[in-house]
Chains A and B, each alone.
Chain A
């Protein structure tokens, strides 16, 4: 059974940084593209970034390009999102999801609040 568990969220001031993690189990992590998606409070879903199996195929949404960095550690079955220069509008629940184009499985999400 696929299991994705995000962690690392919290309260941070504007301009600050956070590093999110996603621990994966129940499937061959190194065989899967992975993605980060967020949902602002009471709002819809925004795809932020995906990363290929070996970490070389990467893309970012314009809203986070240059500020966020996606990475993975296949040896540890883990996905990461380094978030720098955080803005108030980055406040959201952040989900990791399996695959890039079809989001077959999702974690429970981790809440990031950017506020002074």
Chain B
């Protein structure tokens, strides 16, 4: 199975400051069609996960532009340019290239 390793496990951030979460896959996640099925999800407390980013860097409709995704090969990053209170929650990376599709262990973003 492809192992998705996220860091850090916990990320205390000051409001208005940037934040960055890393995710590394244990092998290439480029699919045979050339696409990279890599996504970022946000799970606010008590809520279902919500997709923020798909295909590494495409932002979902309604997602604030302070969220951005980047990466290639086996290393990927989610950046929040200026953290707001509503960004508190757990963030998961996920690969949908190789079955079984796998999630990272999660990064808990909290306000200092």
Q: In the bound complex, how far is the Cα of B43 from the Cα of A106, in angstroms?
A: 11
Q: A101-B101, A104-B51, A106-B50 are in contact. Are A45 and B94 (CB under 8 A)?
A: yes
Docked-complex contact B97 and A101, CB < 8 angstroms: yes
Docked-complex contact A44 and B100, CB < 8 angstroms: no
CB contacts (< 8 Å) of A95 on chain B: these are 48-49
CB 8 Å contact bits of B83-112 with A (1 = contact, 0 = none):
000000000101011011111111000000
Q: How far is the CB of A80 from chain B (nearest CB, A)?
A: 19
Q: In the bound complex, how far is the Cα of B1 from the Cα of A61, in angstroms?
A: 10
CB contacts (< 8 Å) of B41 on chain A: these are 45, 103
Q: How far is the CB of A41 from chain B (nearest CB, A)?
A: 13
Among the listed A47, A105, A106, A107, which residue makes an inter-chain contact with B100, where contact means beta carbons less than 8 Å apart?
A47
CB contacts (< 8 Å) of B49 on chain A: these are 45, 95, 103, 106
Residue of A nearest to B6 (CB): A44
Q: In the bound complex, how far is the Cα of B41 from the Cα of A2, in angstroms?
A: 17
Among the listed B55, B99, B103, which residue makes an inter-chain contact with A46, where contact means beta carbons less than 8 Å apart?
B103
Q: In the bound complex, how far is the Cα of B55 from the Cα of A102, in angstroms?
A: 8
CB contacts (< 8 Å) of A104 on chain B: these are 51, 54, 60
Instruction: Kindly identify, within residues 1 to 54 of chain B, every residue whose CB is under 8 Å from any CB belonging to chain A.
Output: 37, 39, 41, 48-51, 54
Given contacts A45-B94, A100-B101, A103-B39, 12 further A-B contacts (CB under 8 A): A44-B92, A44-B104, A44-B106, A47-B102, A47-B103, A61-B100, A102-B96, A103-B49, A106-B49, A106-B51, A108-B48, A109-B48
Residues of A within 8 A of B (CB): 44-47, 59, 61-62, 95, 100-109
27 A-B interface contacts by CB (under 8 A)? A44-B92, A44-B103, A44-B104, A44-B106, A45-B41, A45-B94, A45-B103, A47-B100, A47-B101, A47-B103, A59-B99, A61-B100, A62-B100, A100-B101, A101-B37, A101-B97, A101-B101, A102-B39, A102-B51, A102-B54, A103-B49, A103-B94, A104-B60, A106-B48, A106-B49, A107-B48, A108-B48
